[in-house]
Amino acid sequence: MTTIGFIGLGIMGKPMATHLARAGHDLHISNASGAAAELKGLGARGHDSLSDLAAACEVVILMVPDTPEVESVLFGDDGVVAGLAPGTLVIDMSSIDPIATRDFAGRVRAAGGDYVDAPVSGGEVGAKAATLTIMAGGSAEGFARALPLFKVMGGNITHIGDVGAGQTCKVANQIIVALNIAAVGEALIFASKAGADPARVREALLGGFASSKVLEVHGERMIERNFDPGFRMDLHLKDLSLALQGAEALGLSLPQTAFCKQLLASAREAGEGDLDHSAMVRQLERLAGHSLAD
The CA-based diameter of the chain, rounded to the nearest angstrom, is 65
Interatomic CA distance for residues 276 and 190, integer angstroms? 22
φ and ψ of 123, to 5 deg: 65, -165
- Return d(Cα 90, Cα 33) in angstroms, integer: 19
Q: In the annotation, is 238 catalytic?
A: no
Contact 220, 181 (CB under 8 A): no
Q: Alpha helices of 111-252 — where are they, by DSSP H?
A: 123-129, 140-153, 165-193, 198-205, 213, 219-224, 233-250
Write down the catalytic residue from 170, 213, 238, 261.
Answer: 170
Query: Angle, to 10 degrees, between the axis of helix 255-269 and the axis of helix 280-288?
Result: 90
- SS3 category, 5: strand
User: Which residues are catalytic, by number?
Assistant: 170
